[in-house]
A and B are shown apart, each in its own frame.
Chain A
Amino acid sequence: MQKYSVFSLIKNSLSGHRNWDVAWKDPTPKKEYEVIIIGGGGHGLATAYYLAKEHKITNVAIIEKGWIGGGNVGRNTTIIRSNFMYDANARFNEFGMNLWRNLSQELNFNVMFSPRGIINLAHSDAQMNAYARRGNSMRLNGIDAVLLNREEVKKIIPQADFSEDVRFPIFGGLMQPSAGTARHDGVAWGYARQADAMGVDIIQHCEVTGFDIQQGKITGVRTSKGNIKSKKVGICVAGSTNILAEKLNMSLPIETHVLQACVSEPIKPLLDGVVTFGAGHFYISQSDKGEMVMGGDLDGYNSYAQRGNLPTIQHVLTGGLAVFPFLSRLKMLRTWGGIMDMSMDGSPIIDKTHIEGLYLNCGWCYGGFKSTPVSGWTFAHTIAQDRVHELNSELSLNRFSTGHLLDEKGIGTKTWIG
């Protein structure tokens, strides 16, 4: 593999950039692999990378129905954070933060991880108390959390609406200074390129149509490019999880919903961190290109559409205008949707299944991007060792029946209001 550096850039510029190596190959599937990963999104690519790097398992295929990085890893609002209250989620995601910090160097690909901080705004005394509690929980897990009062928030985001007579005045906020953003498609490409270099086969435009199971053990998958054998198969398909579960005759504590995001026209630098509105569901950051990147609520009914409806965009941006009135003067550039595997408690599932050799990575709701490295890392461990790692031991499939839920928001099973 050709290393990317300033020298290789200069060298290739002299030959008009016509001699770069391909970033990953386009192989025809082999008859059998040691591990098959279904889903070439961020999590699937990261899983394959860590299988090769940490567990020296390189006879791996990633099977992707469309093209790699064409799903949620390229559709999210790129926010990376670990501001969780529950120990299991906090430890898991803080481990991920450490992977993020070295990711560009490790992958030799600039994922543009930018720890610019996130502020969750509070609009009542009760919310300040709740944030104080969450901040304390975070600090006990070694995560940086700063409780800001109104004046401190104003110093950081003076462009927000600090008038007294608004419906939801800003009381303060909880900040995680080490949170940030990254270049999401770069993450997919970086993982793909390194996984390919270590021998992983990335098979695109290949749909899984069924599973071969004998005596409770997985023996392979059926695909649009023929049957492929493997004793270990990992499912990592986000919003398509229920479709594959149906082929396996499995019920899962997951519903699929569409989440929209949007960007404004690019403007000069105005907002240097990530801000969330606390009285509605709205979050915003500014991309390096200058666009305001925004998102919020799900469309609110089961959907596989990968596109949304305008009432939700209008509703989300109404929340946005409450915090940042300047947004009303911006033109909207694009809106788009992605389909989310909404779990019944809002936390993910990385676990074995009742079928031997079949592993499940799902339930990311609308927060999967930030966990891409740690999801891949722990899923690779779970597959390679055939047992869960301590980090994902509580992200289990059976926690719903045993009552060990990780309901971070405490909203119960109404996934569509998540």
Chain B
Amino acid sequence: MLHIKCPYCGIRSQKEFAYGGDATVKRPKLNSEVSDKEWDDFVYMRKSPRGKHTELWHHISGCRQWFKAQRDTVTHEIFKTAKINEEIK
């Protein structure tokens, strides 16, 4: 069982959360010319690193806020979590 620290509610059990995937993927800017390659990279291409991964989680059975977490994909250790508008380095 993962214990995830919601930036709003504190540490809760994994069962309260839904996963949202890679948080480093950036949607191309709205109302700008987007090449097929840029769109392709945004929709489909993933690095899926072995080690530190910055990802989105949704506290769906709690405060319902989306936030970011940095987690190790081998040990599942969660290093830090941050609000959606905050950077994780």
Contacts and interface: CB of A to CB of B under 8 A. Distances in A.
A302 interface: yes
A246 B53 CA distance: 14
A256 interface: yes
A251 B50 contact: no
B36 A243 contact: no
A252 interface: yes
A414 B21 contact: yes
B12 interface: no
A401 B34 CA distance: 13
State the majority secondary structure of interface residues on A.
mixed
Interface string B1-28: 1100000000000110001011000000
B69 to A, nearest CB: 9
Interface string A41-76: 000000000000000000000000000000000000
A304 to B, nearest CB: 5
Given A309-B2, A309-B14, A401-B40, A246 B47 contact: yes
Contacts of B47: 242, 246, 251
Interface centre among A243, A253, A254, A303 (most CB of B within 10 A): A303
Contact of A302 (B1, B14, B44, B53): B53
B80 interface: no
B74 interface: yes
Nearest to A341: B48
Given A251-B47, A310-B1, A400-B40, A302 B15 contact: no
B71 interface: yes
Contact of B48 (A302, A309, A310, A401): A302
Interface string A289-307: 0000000000011111100
Nearest to A240: B50
A302 B74 contact: no
Interface of B: 1-2, 14-15, 19, 21-22, 36-37, 40-41, 43-50, 53, 55, 71, 73-76
Given A242-B48, A301-B71, A302-B53, 14 more contacts: A242-B47, A251-B41, A252-B46, A253-B45, A253-B46, A255-B21, A304-B73, A305-B73, A305-B74, A305-B75, A311-B15, A400-B40, A401-B37, A415-B21
